[in-house]
Structure 1
Amino acid sequence: MDSPSDPQSTKPPFELRRPLGPRDPGDAWVEGDRGRFWGRFGSAGLLVHDPAKGILLQHRALWSDQGGTWGLPGGALHQGEEAVHGALREAQEEAAVPPENVRVLFTTVFDVGYWSYTTVAVEVVTAFEPEISDPESLELQWVPVGSVGGKALHPGFAAAWPGLRRRLSGLDDGPD
């Protein structure tokens, strides 16, 4: 078995490996006049808020789109999958977020016509510690709400964060 320190090893370090296994038909790029986006059937991410710890952020693997930035656990939806289910599934796959430990607060959708991204905001109702459970994360971290903007955020999340923060704090009850 190859080890990361073995000079004869041909396997890249864990954080540089892409996920293994069969790909879902939704795992593809879509392109149009507003850009290129991941997820043939759209994508969704889970904004996990623990009032005691802050926001769960994922430091994205270097091989991923916008790798090295911080964002939400999430990814491509499966064909016919509801966004809430997809966000919960992806967060469980990537960060071991137990769906039974969170309660959905709200959703917000960024839609360019041919692709959409749904942010599913949840509140932790039973504490848990996230764990990196696939190679899509370099690190997982609870970040105080006031410190999220100080991270090198994924551009899409950076654009959405001010509105999401207002919604979380109850200052804005409407969609972004």
Structure 2
Amino acid sequence: MDSSVAPTSSAALPDDALPQTSRPGAAHSTELPVELRRPLGPRDPGDAWVEGDRGRFWGRFGSAGLLVHDPRKGILLQHRALWSDQGGTWGLPGGALHQGEEAVHGALREAKEEAAVPPENVRVLFTSVFDVGYWTYTTVAVEVVEAFDPEISDPESLELQWVPVEHVAGKELHPGFGAAWPGLRRRLTGSDAGTD
């Protein structure tokens, strides 16, 4: 899950916002639609919140996201599941790093898990790190070298979409990605030299 770089808090849906569904053998039960369901199963030790004087962030060992650029199609954006932090906004496939995992490897792993991005079809261009002292988020920018079709491969996405570079800012972006996008765009388009 890509919690990007903004400190936020999760909000629960009120009980009356949940749909009522009839099932055989039961008068009524509350069942969330798939876009509101959190994934089940074992979690990695890195899947946890960290808190400090600059806010609360996802990823005990930091987080990373993959900024995928296809020169013909644009930027691959993930419409975030409603149950996720800042759900319903657009951001990058990514999430919490595993203990000892390099940010580039973690971003590629997360993008493969969430959007079926084949690591062999992209080339790393640069990384950009947001660091609050007790937590970091690394954006790994890559360029597509062999075309592929992304696919929703876990419950963390409502949809995936290629968005032309000039239209990314017009989406309702995750606040952290929205704050970082102008600088990332400058670097991606070559109008900003140097590294973070």
TM-score (norm 1): 0.94
> Tell me, which stretches of 5 or more residues in structure 1 are unaligned?
none
Q: Which residue of 1 aligns with 2:6?
A: none
Q: In the alignment, is residue 7 of structure 1 matched against residue 22 of structure 2?
A: yes
The Cα shift of 1:6 comes to 6.3
Match of 2:163 among 138, 143, 150: 143
> Tell me, which stretches of 5 or more residues in structure 2 are unaligned?
1-19, 24-28
How big is each residue's C-alpha offset from its partner over 1:21-53, in whole Å with a ceiling of 9 and x where there is no partner? 100000000000000000000000000000000
Q: Which residue of 2 aligns with 1:25?
A: 45
Match of 2:143 among 116, 123, 126: 123
Q: Which residue of 1 aligns with 2:115?
A: 95
Q: Partners of 1:31 and 1:60 in 2: how far apart?
A: 22
Q: Partners of 2:176 and 2:195 in 1: how far apart?
A: 16
- Equivalent residues of 2:126, 2:195 under 8 A apart: no
| Structural mapping, 1:1-176, within 5 Å | 7-8=22-23, 11-175=31-195
Q: Partners of 1:168 and 1:149 in 2: how far apart?
A: 14
Give 2:36's aligned amino acid: L
Q: Partners of 1:6 and 1:103 in 2: how far apart?
A: 46
Moved more, 107-116 or 8-17: 8-17
Q: Partners of 2:35 and 2:86 in 1: how far apart?
A: 14
Q: Partners of 1:6 and 1:66 in 2: how far apart?
A: 26
Q: Which residue of 1 aligns with 2:12?
A: none
Give 1:22's aligned amino acid: P
How big is each residue's C-alpha offset from its partner over 1:72-129, in whole Å with a ceiling of 9 and x where there is no partner? 0000000000000000000000000010110000001000000000000000001001
Greater radius of gyration (CA): 2
**What value does the CA root-mean-square deviation take over the aligned residues?**
1.5
Q: Partners of 1:89 and 1:19 in 2: how far apart?
A: 17
